[in-house]
């Protein structure tokens, strides 16, 4: 891959390309943002563009020996470091500093990428600071962090700071497709998963599928008012472990809200191609026939209130009853 092929954060891509084009590469950079994998991809491809022997002025060719070696983690002048345990140890950074004093082994530049750069202990950070203060023109340091506030201000002030935006759903989808995930599956994964692309795997997909299926089943029973007692008992059972219950309940209400929105879309326009759960269209059509726009709107609002009440830390039993009652005919009549 090259810089140009990276997905998302186009502004940062343009900034990096600008450094390369103008041959004004800062000796130390901080890449700050919520997705460590995404930042690492940017850092690796920027390093590649810096040492590539055949690319244009501002990007990597992705084919020359250094480019290929970097992809395999075998290029000696591009090093990725991570904390040894919870923190970077002093010995680790001493070794890095000693290497940084020597000339690069193969090309003109040497790039050090530090993952979780907010984690050196203090004496290690101070030793490292000296290296940043007296930069060798051949060295480039890229510090990756998910929490820039934990990086010493003295280090921050020596670095060019680039702040990364989280990827949008659409960008996550494109990134998954680039990694070979089929487009429809990528669309659903991007929609339902947290935005960290690194964490998405086949196992997550299966787990998510199972959740979606079981939430559809719960919603169907509630709308049809059949076996509601079982749902109630299951939720009471789960509410014994408070933390796990809240996580489950929040996810359940979220997923059901999305299903309800799909029903709303079908009620407004049965031919609409904008369903999120388009693979459940047939079942959702059946359920749409049992309800109407007003009731569905009421339920969507109700689910929003419940999500807010979870934040407010309301009693688990109150939340459960509110949830179940919103679907009962009396509940709808009383509130709607």
Q: What is the rounded CA–CA span in Å between residue 48 and residue 12? A: 16
Asked if residue 117 binds Zn ion (CB under 5 A), the reply is no
Alpha-carbon 294 to chain mean position: 35
Please answer whether residues 32 and 163 qualify as being in contact, where contact means their C-beta atoms are separated by less than 8 angstroms: yes
Judged by CB, which is closer to Zn ion: 106, or 169? 106
> How would you classify residue 116: left for phi > 0, otherwise alpha for psi between -120 and 50, otherwise beta?
left
- Token pair belonging to 286: 């059946």
Judged by CB, which is closer to Zn ion: 64, or 174? 64
Residue 161, beta-bridge partner list:
30
Q: Please choose, from the candidates 174, 196, 168, 147, the residue with its C-alpha nearest in 3D space to the C-alpha of residue 38.
A: 196
Judged by CB, which is closer to Zn ion: 40, or 67? 67
Applying CB under 5 A, among 1, 64, 136, 148 the residue interacting with Zn ion is 64
Shortest spacing between CB 66 and Zn ion, in angstroms: 6
State the number of binding residues for Zn ion (CB under 5 A): 7
- Secondary structure of residue 272 in the 3-state scheme: coil
Shortest spacing between CB 59 and Zn ion, in angstroms: 9
- Burial (CB count within 10 angstroms: exposed 0-12, middle 13-18, buried 19+), residue 155: buried
Judged by CB, which is closer to Zn ion: 52, or 172? 52
Judged by CB, which is closer to Zn ion: 2, or 277? 2
Applying CB under 5 A, among 26, 34, 36, 61 the residue interacting with Zn ion is 61
- In the sheet that holds 110-114, the strands lie side by side as 78-81, 110-114, 139-145, 28-32, 160-163
Shortest spacing between CB 109 and Zn ion, in angstroms: 13
Q: Please choose, from the candidates 266, 238, 273, 268, the residue with its C-alpha nearest in 3D space to the C-alpha of residue 252.
A: 238
- Token pair belonging to 36: 């460590």
Question: Which range touches Zn ion (CB under 5 A), out of 37-45, 61-69, 118-126, 263-271?
Answer: 61-69
Q: Please choose, from the candidates 17, 41, 43, the residue with its C-alpha nearest in 3D space to the C-alpha of residue 29.
A: 43
Shortest spacing between CB 20 and Zn ion, in angstroms: 13
What is the x/- site pattern for Zn ion, positions 65-104, by CB under 5 A?
Answer: --x-------------------------------------
Alpha-carbon 56 to chain mean position: 31
- Secondary structure of residue 167 in the 3-state scheme: coil
Residue 32, beta-bridge partner list:
145, 163
Question: Which range touches Zn ion (CB under 5 A), out of 57-65, 148-156, 204-212, 296-304?
Answer: 57-65
Shortest spacing between CB 146 and Zn ion, in angstroms: 30
Judged by CB, which is closer to Zn ion: 43, or 60? 60
Site of tokens 């810089």: 3
Judged by CB, which is closer to Zn ion: 61, or 321? 61
Judged by CB, which is closer to Zn ion: 16, or 252? 16
Question: Which range touches Zn ion (CB under 5 A), out of 13-21, 53-61, 155-163, 297-305?
Answer: 53-61
Asked if residue 52 binds Zn ion (CB under 5 A), the reply is yes
Asked if residue 50 binds Zn ion (CB under 5 A), the reply is no
Q: Which residues bind Zn ion (CB under 5 A)?
A: 52, 54-55, 60-61, 64, 67
């Amino acid at each position: 891959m090259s810089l140009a092929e990276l997905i998302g954060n186009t502004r940062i891509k343009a900034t990096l390309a600008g450094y390369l084009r103008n041959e004004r590469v800062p000796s130390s950079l901080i890449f700050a943002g919520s997705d460590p994998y995404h930042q690492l991809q940017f850092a690796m491809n920027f390093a590649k563009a810096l040492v590539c022997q055949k690319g244009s002025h501002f990007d990597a060719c992705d084919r020359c020996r250094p480019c290929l070696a970097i992809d395999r983690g075998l290029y000696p002048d591009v090093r990725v470091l991570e904390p040894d345990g919870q923190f970077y140890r002093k010995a680790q950074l001493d070794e890095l500093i000693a290497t940084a004093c020597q000339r690069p082994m193969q090309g003109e530049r040497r790039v050090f990428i530090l993952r979780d750069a907010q984690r050196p202990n203090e004496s290690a950070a101070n030793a490292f600071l000296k290296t940043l203060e007296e930069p060798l023109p051949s060295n480039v340091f890229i510090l990756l962090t998910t929490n820039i506030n934990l990086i010493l201000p003295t280090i921050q002030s020596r670095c060019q700071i680039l702040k990364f935006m989280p990827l949008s759903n659409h960008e996550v989808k494109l990134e998954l497709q680039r990694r070979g995930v089929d487009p429809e599956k990528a669309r659903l994964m991007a929609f339902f998963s947290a935005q960290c692309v690194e964490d998405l795997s086949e196992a997550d997909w299966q787990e998510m599928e199972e959740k979606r299926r079981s939430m559809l089943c719960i919603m169907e029973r509630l709308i049809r008012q059949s076996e509601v007692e079982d749902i109630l008992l299951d939720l009471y059972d789960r509410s014994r472990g408070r933390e796990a219950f809240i996580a489950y309940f929040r996810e359940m209400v979220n997923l059901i809200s999305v299903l309800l929105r799909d029903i709303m879309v079908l009620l407004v326009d049965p031919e609409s191609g904008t369903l999120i759960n388009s693979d459940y269209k047939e079942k959702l059509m059946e359920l749409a026939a049992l309800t109407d726009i007003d009731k569905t709107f009421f339920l969507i609002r109700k689910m929003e209130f419940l999500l807010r009440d979870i934040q407010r830390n309301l009693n688990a039993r109150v939340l459960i009853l509110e949830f179940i009652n919103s679907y009962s005919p009396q509940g709808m009549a009383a509130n709607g």
